[in-house]
């Protein structure tokens, strides 16, 4: 039966998005249900607790937008922290920059990493064997709280939607702790949910980061397998946030290897706030 193609759907506010394929794995970890499906068009895809996390076909829409605005523009980028990111895609994009010397990837669920290494090799790619990547199975909130000041140049929050065990990643106190452990010109980069299907939490994230950091900017783009297909990423810093100020030679190389991101695309994406969100933020 395991080999029979079947429909697996994510349900969200009276809509559902399903992929058809063979379920390669379905198991419960300590934290969540993990499912891997193999599909024709999207390739292999990962679902956690009923929500699509990533697929081989469209993961670049997400990972390239989370990583490159921060890393292509920041001068010092030797120490990176990734909170979540157990599929390896964020680490893979970070490792394209030769100046990155150390990445701490802090994932709470060891099973997600094991499953990704086994079934989603295309996503993590060479990252798993790169000596610059250190994997820590730990609670991201605890990790940040116990890290000393000025430790990281960039922090990526690559987490799932708010839930019982990820809620704390969306709080003011967590963002303040992130700020404390960033270097002086450091950047916090976080996925900031969908302005359409998670409007309230989206606005909450923007307002929180805007309050806690001197500078913050939000970009909007596409993630086909996420609810509504509209997604956002927010970047915050206390010193400098000049996300279009890049080393062109380096960026050209990165662009050549990207499916979605390029500098023009990025600069535009920072202005793609739907008008109804503009109105709500200004009201």
Residues classed as catalytic: 158
| Angle, CA 17 vertex, CA 15 and CA 18 arms, to 5° | 135
**Side-chain half-sphere CA neighbours of 48 within 13 A:** 25
Total residues in contact with a copy of itself, by rule CB under 8 A: 46
236's tokens: 């915050």
In this structure, how many other beta carbons lie within 10 angstroms of the beta carbon of residue 16?
11
Is the sign of the CA dihedral 219, 203, 59, 96 positive or negative? positive
Q: Which stretch, 8-16, 74-82, 86-94, 97-105, contacts a copy of itself (CB under 8 A)?
A: 8-16
Is residue 252 close enough to count as binding a copy of itself by CB under 8 A? no
Q: Report whether 59 belongs to an annotated binding site.
A: no
Q: Does residue number 268 form part of the binding site for a copy of itself (CB under 8 A)?
A: yes
Taking the complex as a whole, the smallest distance from the CB of residue 17 to a copy of itself amounts, in Å, to 6
CB 260 within 8 A of CB 64: yes
> Does residue number 20 form part of the binding site for a copy of itself (CB under 8 A)?
yes
Q: Are 71 and 154 in contact (CB under 8 A)?
A: yes
The binding track of 46-65 with respect to a copy of itself, each residue x by CB under 8 A or -, is ------------x--x----
Q: Quote the CA–CA distance of 282 and 194 in Å, as a whole number.
A: 18
DSSP H or E segment with residue 282: helix 275-282
Beta carbon of residue 45, minimum distance to a copy of itself (angstroms, whole number): 10
Alpha helices, H only, 44-137:
59-71, 89-94, 110-119, 121-124
Q: How far is the CB of 9 from a copy of itself (least distance, A)?
A: 7
| 272 touching a copy of itself, by CB under 8 A | yes
The residue among 21 and 88 lying less far from a copy of itself, judged by its C-beta, is 21
Q: Is 128 in the site for a copy of itself (CB under 8 A)?
A: no
- Determine contact, residues 106/138, Cβ cutoff 8 Å: yes
**Applying CB under 8 A, which of residues 103, 144, 178, 258 lies at the interface with a copy of itself?**
258
107 is in an annotated binding site: yes
Tokens (6 digits) for 170 = 């969306």
CA-wise closest residue to 44 among 35, 34, 56, 32: 56
SS percent in the chain: helix, strand, coil, step 5: 35, 30, 35
188 counts as binding a copy of itself under rule CB under 8 A: no
Task: Output the CA–CA distances (angstroms, integers) from residue 136 to 50, 104, 216, 277, 278, in the order listed.
Answer: 25, 7, 28, 37, 39
Q: Which is nearer to a copy of itself, 20 or 210 (CB)?
A: 20
DSSP 97: S
Task: By CB under 8 A, tell whether 275 contacts a copy of itself.
Answer: yes
19 binds a copy of itself per the rule CB under 8 A: yes
x-marked contacts with a copy of itself along 59-98 as a string, rule CB under 8 A:
--x-------------------------------------
Which residue ranges are tagged as binding site for S-methyl-5'-thioadenosine?
Answer: 32, 107, 139-140
Contact set with a copy of itself (CB under 8 A)? 7, 9, 13-21, 39-42, 58, 61, 196-197, 221-225, 228-230, 255, 258-262, 264-265, 267-276, 278
């Amino acid at each position: 039966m395991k080999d029979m193609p079947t429909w697996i759907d994510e349900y969200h506010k009276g809509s559902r998005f399903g992929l058809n394929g063979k379920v390669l794995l379905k198991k419960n970890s300590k934290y969540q249900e993990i499912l891997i499906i193999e599909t024709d068009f999207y390739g292999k895809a990962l679902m956690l607790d009923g929500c699509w996390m990533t697929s081989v076909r469209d993961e670049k829409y997400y990972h390239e937008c989370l990583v490159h605005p921060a890393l292509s523009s920041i001068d010092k980028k030797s120490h990176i922290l990734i909170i979540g990111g157990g599929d390896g895609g964020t680490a893979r994009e970070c490792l394209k920059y030769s100046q990155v010397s150390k990445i701490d990837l802090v994932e709470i669920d060891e099973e997600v990493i094991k499953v990704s290494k086994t079934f989603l090799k295309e996503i993590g790619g060479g990252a798993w064997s790169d000596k610059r990547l250190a994997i820590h199975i730990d609670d991201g909130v605890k990790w940040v709280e116990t890290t000393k000041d000025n430790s990281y140049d960039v922090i990526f929050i690559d987490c799932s939607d708010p839930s019982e065990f990820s809620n704390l990643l969306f709080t003011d106190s967590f963002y303040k702790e992130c700020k404390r452990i960033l270097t002086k010109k450091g950047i916090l980069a976080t996925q900031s949910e969908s302005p359409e299907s998670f409007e309230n939490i989206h606005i909450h994230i923007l307002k929180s980061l805007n309050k806690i950091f001197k500078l913050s900017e939000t970009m909007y783009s596409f993630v086909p397998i996420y609810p509504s297909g509209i997604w956002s990423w927010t970047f915050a810093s206390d010193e400098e946030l000049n996300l279009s100020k890049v080393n062109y030679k380096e960026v050209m190389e990165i662009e050549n290897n990207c499916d979605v991101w390029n500098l023009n695309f990025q600069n535009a994406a920072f202005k793609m706030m739907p008008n109804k969100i503009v109105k709500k933020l200004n009201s």
